[in-house]
Structure 1
Amino acid sequence: MNPIKPQPLGVRHVVAMPWPGRGHINPMLNLCKSLVRRDPNLIVTFVVTEEWFGLIGSDPKPSRIHFATLPNLIPSELVRANDFIGFVDAVLTRLEEPFEQLLDRLNSPPPTAIIADTYIIWAVRVGTKRNIPVASFWTTSATILSLFIHTDLLASHGHFPVEPSESNLDEIVDYIPGLSPTRLRDLQIFHGYSLQVFNIFKTSFGELSKAKYLLFPSAYELEPKAIDVFTSKFDFPVYSTGPLIPFEELSVRNENRELDYFQWLDEQPESSVLYISQGSFLSVSDAQMEEIVVGLRESGVRFIWVARGGKLKLKEALEGSLGVVVSWCDQLRVLCHAAVGGFWTHCGFNSTLEGIYSGVPMLTFPLFRDQFLNAKMIVEEWRVGMRIESKKQMELLIVSDEIKELVKRFMDGESEEGKEMRRRTCDLSEICRRAVAETGSSDANIDAFLKDITKIV
């Protein structure tokens, strides 16, 4: 793609470099949309691989966000799950040089600042070399980042790496700044394959102190203790800017109201539908999927299930149930629909924020890395959800009877437990909506960040 066209004097130019993955690109793009909507003199060059441009290049966006591409020097999105370690290594070793070559071409005007995903280890180095300030953007919770930068404390207590066993699952970790007392079972991010991924990324946490800003997609009110850890630790500004979800687009006329799943939702009773999404990258075993299908069908609960792969097979398995299966949906609009009363989620942080903003209780089914700690926050700290887990310790398979009973209990809005959970969910939703409203905490932080980079010009 060609670099941006010449711009008038006084225009500030931010270059955004997300990690090449849906869970990182979406919050980065939402952040950039918030910035350009706020500042008419700001333009953004949003850097993605050629493959990712093919996936998102036609999506609606403000005119002052321009895409620029890097060559496809990393494994395709279609196969990265087969060798995620190799994919990570490729991003960290093959994209720095083409990114620098791109910066050489972006001179009208030259970049004022770089916003880079924290995992893009080389971004701070590139910015420092070119005297361009870098804002490090951490795309998940501040709580998990505090855990990551305090693994020395875990090691000193014999909790790193974590090897879950029946004897230690309920041991409590209560010494990490910003992290409330947490059971070892919720720290599986430091176990097995997840530990390998963490060890590769560990270098990025050392580079963090060399950035000029740290940005979070969360609202301060959701994680005050964790965010305070970073404002105390670093001598540069730390800004919570979220929830960074496309809530502003909800006010735009929905051209998809005629879609079958919206028509179906319109016909369902209020708060009666369970929305099910297991994310865009991870999946469960065939055996576990079979138990979920049976449990859901026998629960008698209405549902809408987003199945990005195997939709036809799933529809056949659920034939005769009270739900619909779709390959894609507008998640935030669905969550905000009056018929939706629950959200079965893998607990990726983007989905967690959308669930909170929508005021929908969450049924947590974490699978990988930070999702376990996000689930713990949903269930134990914010108390806006329930946990899907086996009643037997160390039992990997959650059987259909357990799923059936939990789904029925979770969707029972008439029980005292259900009423209280929904009340807390509505309260938390209101807190998040106030944060992004005019004069709210995140609204003020975005203004402050824009003023900071304005001073640089």
Structure 2
Amino acid sequence: MSSQPPHVLLVSFPLQGHVNPLLRLGARLAAKGLLVTFTTFRHAGIRALREDGACVAAAGRGRLRFDYLRDDGCGPRSPVPGDPSDMLRHVADAGPSALAGLLRRQADAGRPVACVVNNPFVPWALDVAGAAGIPCATLWIQSCAVLSLYYHFYRCPEGFPTEADTAAPVAVVPGLPTLAADELPLMVRPEHAGNLWGQTLRAQLAGFRKNNTVAWVLVNTFEGLERPVVEALRSHAPVTPVGPLLDHDHDHDGGGDDGCMAWLDAQPPGSVVYVAFGSLVTVGCGEMLALAEGLAATGRPFLWVVRDDSRRLLPDGALAACGGRGRVVAWCPQGRVLRHGAVGCFVTHCGWNSVAEALAAGVPMVGYPWWSDQFTNAKLLAEEYGVGVRLPAPATRDAVRACVHEVMGGPRAAVFRMAAKAWKDEAAAAVADGGSSDRNLHAFVQEIRRFHETRAGGSMINSNI
């Protein structure tokens, strides 16, 4: 039997919304005694990560280390800054050879990889791992509902909108309610399905079918939240809920909290409107003004994350009418903010990481989706999970004020809070020792251990021949 723990390599697409959940999965795998290496291409849009070779102890058992993909100056040119599609092309061009080199370096260093886990938009990681005889898993970072929509779209597109009927609703996905065209993720809409992102996603999902390339599809969700769609999809793909994947005290946040937590400490319980639109969404100048005026009109304290690259879009004097009630920051530790007792509402772009964090924190939401899966998430949080409302686009001062009031002080506010509290309790139970997500993750770890020991035993036999 090998004395070295199994080594899992996590391969992430280099965007913050992809990096965060995969890192959190890595921390949980390391806490169960595995050696975990996280890798991606370095990219200016990602908050500072640890240096090559740096290690983080996880619950005193395993280790989480960092080792980045390299093209050693021989690969294609660097991607165009601020162009996600060019980043996707660069990663697809440079990734396979860089990952093959990383796998060789790990083996040469005496820590051969026992399993490769990727996330969306790096399907080539599965090809490279498969060629090396290494088992593969994928962490699906969006909801199981969206995964099922993509899966059924690529398998049977007849039930989805077409160029001839772009407004057709979708009622063919088992476990899901009927969705209007504007509630679908972008890559199943005819105007986006054939673009580079859609093609890459199609390649990724090709390996999800049972007995194919991917042995496990780990999903950042929990059984109680999406049970009907999870059960329906399991007959097609090896979906395994392991969420919600949340931040931990040892997460590397690249700095302090810019005074956010101290400011929240001074606010009354449940009084603060928290506003954040993720690492990619850019809100236009008109909507920035509408948000500022709408937040001011609520009369409530608010914490608004406005990234440095968007600060210029905030009109001069737009916050003057707030009477000092608002605080605008470039970044904050979102998980900690949502768990703070002063926060009573989250105005969100409905990225799945944000929705999952809010559900786990028991915070009602105002959804304002922009792209990708966010339209479906807004539908789910309002109509399926019962924790909020959707802000109509484009945002106006009065609509912002009305939606925040509906969630925090309207006739249904107590219902929203009760539903959010129930999801918080169910999420906590899922990830607790012996909970559904914890059991699923434990089963995944045991499978990796079995493969590791079998391979180690085979190596010992071969070495004695």
Fold-level match, TM-score > 0.5? yes
Sort the Cα spacing of 1:74 and 1:277 in 2 relative to 1 into closer, same or farther, 3 A: farther
Q: 1:46 to 1:157 in 2, by over 3 A?
A: closer
- What's the counterpart of residue 143 of structure 2? 141
Instruction: Tell me the amino acid that sits aligned with residue 102 of structure 2.
Output: L
Amino acid aligned to 2:150: F
Q: After TM superposition, give the deviation of residue 400 of structure 1 in Å.
A: 1.6
The Cα offsets for residues 52-71 of structure 1, whole Å up to 9 and x where unpaired, read as 78821169943711111123
Deviations 1:133-161, CA, capped at 9 Å, x for gaps: 01122111111111111115763236145
Counterpart in the other structure of 2:98: 98
Cα separation, 2, equivalents of 1:427 and 1:383: 11
CA apart distance, 1:256: 5.5
2:283 matches 1:280: no
Aligned partners of 1:27 and 1:244 also within 8 Å: yes
Pairwise mapping of residues 353-432 of structure 1 onto structure 2 (< 5 A)? 353-389=356-392, 396-412=393-409, 415-432=410-427
Mean Cα deviation higher: 218-227 or 139-148: 218-227
Aligned to 2:7: 13
Helix, strand or coil at the partner of 1:325 = strand
C-alpha distance after superposition, 1:313-371 (max 9, x if no partner): 74842124121101111111111111110000001111111100110001100000100
Which residue is equivalent to 1:333?
336
Find the aligned partners of 1:50 and 1:401 in 2 and give their Cα distance.
42
Determine the C-alpha separation between the residues in 2 that align with 1:278 and 1:296.
Answer: 15
1:55 is the counterpart of 2:48: yes
Give distance in 1, aligned partners of 2:354 and 2:78.
24
Amino acid in the other structure paired with 1:432 = A
- After superposition, residues 44-443 of structure 1 pair within 5 angstroms as 44-51=36-43, 55-57=48-50, 61-62=56-57, 64-71=63-70, 79-80=81-82, 82=83, 84-107=84-107, 108-151=110-153, 155-157=157-159, 159-160=161-162, 168=167, 172-189=169-186, 190-191=188-189, 192-193=191-192, 196=195, 197-209=197-209, 210-234=213-237, 237-246=238-247, 248-249=248-249, 260-309=259-308, 310-311=310-311, 314=314, 316-321=317-322, 322-389=325-392, 396-412=393-409, 415-443=410-438
Provide the C-alpha distance between the structure 1 equivalents of 2:401 and 2:320, rounded to a whole number of angstroms: 17
Q: 2:288 touches 2:313 (CA, 8 Å); kept in 1?
A: no
Distance 1:158 1:30, change over 3 A: closer
What value does the CA root-mean-square deviation take over the aligned residues? 2.7
Residues 303, 75 of structure 1: alpha-carbon distance in 2 compared, 3 angstrom cutoff? farther
The share of aligned pairs that are identical, in percent, is 29
Q: Which amino acid aligns with 2:90?
A: A
**What residue ranges of structure 1 are gaps of 5+ in the alignment?**
1-7, 390-395
Following TM superposition, by how much is the alpha carbon of 1:232 offset from its aligned partner in structure 2, in angstroms? 1.3
TM-score, normalising length: structure 2: 0.85
For the 8 Å contact 1:138–1:217, the answer to whether it is kept is: yes
Preserved contact between residue 161 and residue 195 of structure 1 (Cα < 8 Å): no
Structure 2 CA distance, aligned partners of 1:448 and 1:297?
A: 50
Select which of 32, 55, 58 maps to 2:26.
32
**C-alpha displacement of 1:88:** 1.4
Question: Which amino acid letter does the alignment assign opposite residue 420 of structure 2?
Answer: T
* 1:392 aligned residue: none
Q: Give the superposition deviation at 1:261.
A: 2.4
3-state SS of the aligned residue for 2:240?
strand
- CA–CA distance in structure 1, aligned partners of residues 16 and 262 of structure 2: 28
More displaced, 349-358 or 402-411?
A: 402-411
Q: CA 1:75 to 1:342, structure 2 compared with 1: closer, same or farther past 3 Å?
A: farther
Q: 1:142 and 1:51 mapped to 2: Cα distance?
A: 28
Pair 287,75 (structure 1): closer, same or farther in 2 beyond 3 Å: farther
Number of residue equivalences: 427
